[in-house]
């Protein structure tokens, strides 16, 4: 049975963090993503950049639907654990909406969720499947598309968040957590947004105390990461303001 064969493509726990397999994934992602963004920056005119951005947004949304829940259900996983309710899934949705609509509220959410959430997922993957298992591939392609989509928006389409975006994103994230929290109790293995227990493979949550206290700690960590993610804009704006003052 093909499902039994795929089931054998799994680690004893999760993929070893920064082990050989993980580093290969990261290296491929870094090279391919950087090459694409450099190519787009050097060769795309405004019309082509808009068109490719829209296509990339559609790809993000289609990828999300095909991976979660479609692929998981095909592989025999229960619906209760196959819903797109992780923060990175919401980030993927926002990236799709952002690249298709170019709305400011979409860049606000997508920027911080992708750079702070999807990046963390790539660095500390909660992944049990070994290449070439379909879910091993889609795990990394999904998070890569999410991050590249945001970087495409800010570097090619010249969109950006604002300082005022941070409290808005914090509020929306907290609201999602309140809604998602009880859903985790419809199935023993459901752990959307990691509100029920920490990832098995290890993550920053391991340093934030036991459940449920780590949930409160995550609020502070999220705020810190959001501020760090915004720093390039804060520094750039400060430099531009200082130059404008000195030239007056």
- Could you state, in order of their start, the residue ranges of all structural domains in the chain? 2-247
The pLDDT value recorded for residue 11 is 87
Residue 72 makes CB contacts below 8 A (sequence gap 6+) with: 81, 82, 135
Written as six digits, the tokens of 155 are 């570097």
Distance in Å from the first CA to the final CA of the chain: 75
Please tell me the predicted confidence (pLDDT) of residue 6: 74
Q: Which residues, other chains included, contact 175 with Cβ-Cβ below 8 Å and sequence gap of 6+?
A: none
pLDDT reported for residue 204 = 81
User: Among residues 29, 6, 7, which one has the least CA distance to residue 141?
Assistant: 29
Contact 118, 89 (CB under 8 A): no
Which of 2, 63, 93, 180 lies closest to 71, judged by CA? 63
pLDDT at 240: 86
**Which pLDDT score, from 0 to 100, does residue 248 have?**
61
Q: Report mean pLDDT in 10-residue bins for the chain, 248 residues.
A: 74 88 96 97 95 97 92 88 94 97 96 94 91 92 97 96 94 96 93 90 82 90 95 91 75
């Amino acid at each position: 049975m093909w499902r039994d064969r795929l089931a054998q493509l799994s680690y004893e726990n999760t993929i070893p963090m920064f082990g050989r397999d993980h580093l290969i994934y990261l290296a491929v992602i870094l090279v391919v993503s950087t090459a694409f963004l450099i190519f787009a920056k050097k060769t795309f005119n405004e019309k082509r950049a808009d068109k490719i951005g829209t296509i990339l947004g559609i790809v993000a949304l289609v990828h999300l639907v095909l991976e979660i829940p479609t692929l998981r259900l095909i592989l025999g996983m229960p619906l209760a654990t196959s819903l797109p309710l992780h923060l990175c899934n919401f980030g993927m949705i926002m990236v799709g909406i952002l690249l298709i609509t170019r709305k400011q509220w979409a860049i606000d959410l997508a920027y911080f969720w992708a750079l702070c959430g999807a990046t963390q997922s790539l660095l500390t993957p909660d992944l049990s499947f070994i290449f070439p298992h379909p879910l091993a591939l889609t795990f990394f392609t999904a998070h890569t598309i999410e991050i590249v989509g945001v970087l495409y928006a800010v570097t090619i389409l010249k969109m950006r968040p604002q300082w005022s975006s941070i409290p808005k994103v914090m509020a929306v994230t907290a609201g999602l957590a309140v809604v998602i929290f009880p859903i985790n109790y419809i199935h023993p293995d459901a752990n959307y947004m990691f509100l029920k227990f920490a990832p098995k493979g290890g993550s920053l949550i391991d340093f934030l105390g036991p459940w449920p206290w780590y949930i409160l700690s995550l609020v502070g960590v999220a705020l810190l990461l959001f501020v760090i993610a915004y720093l390039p804009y804060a520094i750039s704006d400060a430099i531009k303001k200082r130059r404008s003052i000195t030239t007056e």
